[in-house]
Amino acid sequence: MEFDEGELRAYYADAPDDISLSDIDLTNIPRHVSMIMDGNGRWAEERGLARHQGHIAGVDSLREAVTSSVRLGFDVLSAYAFSTENWRRPQEEVDLLMHLFATTLLKELPLFYQENVRLRFLGDITELPEQTREVFEEGLEKTAAHTGMVFALAVNYGSRAELARATRLVAQDVVAGRMNADEVDERSIEERLYTSGLPDPDLLVRTSGELRLSNYLLWQLAYTEFYVTSKHWPDFSRWDMLRAIRAYQGRNRRFGGVVES
Ligand code: FPP
């Protein structure tokens, strides 16, 4: 996606010692960056704060990630906000997160207008509390005509559930005679995933140091480069986004093919 280089340079002025915009090849920016935002709880505990303070601080990081992604010209930024397994957390924390998602989305709508960002959700949002679902639907409606970066938020998302759903949808089409079983191919599955129409992530960022996928985008991450930082999500800044891109640009992507010379 196009970006305004002057605006980008201003945004990335005052560089720290180890990274600056000149370390990045602006002609090789990933199209789709995805993020597992981990460590809000640990960030709060390390500061003697309640866990919810970590989630509230995480909102600021997410806003900065959206802004830096727009400035850098990503086509898609996606982020894992709430998994199908996260319902097992204490009810109080689940309620807080659902409330935070709704209030944050409403509050950030002007940013989505200003930056021409189109919102999308990955996961089954029909199962969310009514207030959260309504705000999400409003966000979808109000940003539907935007033509800039897609911001895809995974909420009530689980990759195995997504694949089971896609399989179910294929089976229904076969049973109804809309397609033959022997026509089922990768594309048939892809078209029925929540990410349908989006490019696969080029880069996956995970904060807090854990080396696992946590049931996130198992299909879509087949050839994605991973960047794991020990920083907790609330400490992830625009500079960490640059560090992640620098690491990505240092990789040799082969997609299962031969090594490029
Ligand atoms: C992981 O930290 C974070 C979450 C489960 C929630 C993600 C939510 C945010 C970043 C808040 C803002 C999001 C939106 C969409 C408004 P954790 O609680 O698993 O941390 P821990 O592993 O240290 O316990």
**DSSP codes joined into one string, 109-156:** HHHHHHTTPEEEEES-GGGS-HHHHHHHHHHHHHHTT--S-EEEEEEE
How far apart are the CA of 59 and the centre of ligand 1, in A? 9
Residue 77 in any domain: the answer is yes
Q: Which residues contact 174 (CB under 8 A, 6 or more apart)?
A: 180, 181, 184
Residues with CB under 6 A from ligand 1: 37-42, 55, 58-59, 62, 81, 86, 97, 100-101, 104, 153, 233
Q: Is residue 146 part of a domain?
A: yes
Residue 19 is assigned to a structural domain of this protein: no
- Take residue 188 and report the two structure tokens written for it: 């048939």
What pTM value is reported for the model? Answer: 0.96
Which of 216, 249, 183 lies closest to 79, judged by CA?
Answer: 216
**Domain CATH code at residue 60:** 3.40.1180.10
Q: Ligand 1 atom 22: the closest Cα is on which residue?
A: 39
Nearest to 62 by CA among 129, 8, 108: 108
- The answer to whether position 11 is within a domain reads no
CA gap 17, 121 in Å, rounded: 37
Question: Which residue range forms the structural domain that includes residue 218?
Answer: 29-158+200-249
One-letter amino acid of 193 = L
Residue 215 lies in a domain: yes
Task: Tell me how far apart the alpha carbons of residues 1 and 229 are, in angstroms, rounded to a whole number.
Answer: 26
Instruction: Pick out the chain residues at pLDDT < 70.
Output: 259-261
Q: Is residue 207 part of a domain?
A: yes
> From ligand 1's centre to the CA of 63, what distance in Å?
14
Report the run of H or E that residue 238 belongs to, with start and end.
helix 238-249
Active site (catalytic) residues: 38, 86
- 191 within some domain: no
